[in-house]
Structure 1
Amino acid sequence: MNPDTLLSWQLWAILSAVFAALTAIFAKVGVADINSDLATFIRTVVVLVALGGLLAATGKLVADGPIGPKTWTFLILSGLCTGASWLCYFRALKLGPASLVAPIDKLSVVLVVLFGVLFLGERPSGTEWIGIALIAAGAVIIALK
Structure 2
Amino acid sequence: MSPDTFPSWLPWAVLSAVFAALTAIFAKIGVEDINSDLATLIRTVIVLISLALILFATGKLGQTGPISTKTWIFLLLSGLGTGASWLCYFRALKLGPATLVAPIDKLSVVLVALFGVVFLGERPSMSGWLGIALIAAGAVIIVIRR
TM-score, normalising length from structure 2? 0.93
Q: Spell out structure 1 runs of 4+ moving beyond 2 A.
A: none
What secondary structure is seen at the aligned counterpart in 2 of 1:66? coil
Match of 2:143 in 1: 143
Match of 1:131 in 2: 131
Distance in 2 (CA, whole Å) between partners of 1:62 and 1:123 is 37
Displacement after TM superposition at 1:63 (Å): 4.3
User: Which ranges in structure 1 are unaligned for 5 or more consecutive residues?
Assistant: none
For the aligned residue pairs, the C-alpha RMSD in angstroms reads 1.3
Residue type of the alignment partner of 2:15: L
Match of 2:113 in 1: 113
What secondary structure is seen at the aligned counterpart in 2 of 1:123? coil
Residue type of the alignment partner of 1:138: G
Distance in 1 (CA, whole Å) between partners of 2:64 and 2:40 is 31
Match of 1:25 in 2: 25
Match of 1:66 in 2: 66
Match of 1:51 in 2: 51
Match of 2:90 in 1: 90
Distance in 2 (CA, whole Å) between partners of 1:115 and 1:88 is 20
TM-score, normalising length from structure 1? 0.94
User: Which ranges in structure 2 are unaligned for 5 or more consecutive residues?
Assistant: none
Residue type of the alignment partner of 1:94: K
Match of 2:76 in 1: 76
Distance in 2 (CA, whole Å) between partners of 1:77 and 1:63 is 23
What secondary structure is seen at the aligned counterpart in 1 of 2:65? coil
Query: How many percent of aligned residue pairs carry the same amino acid?
Result: 76
What secondary structure is seen at the aligned counterpart in 1 of 2:25? helix
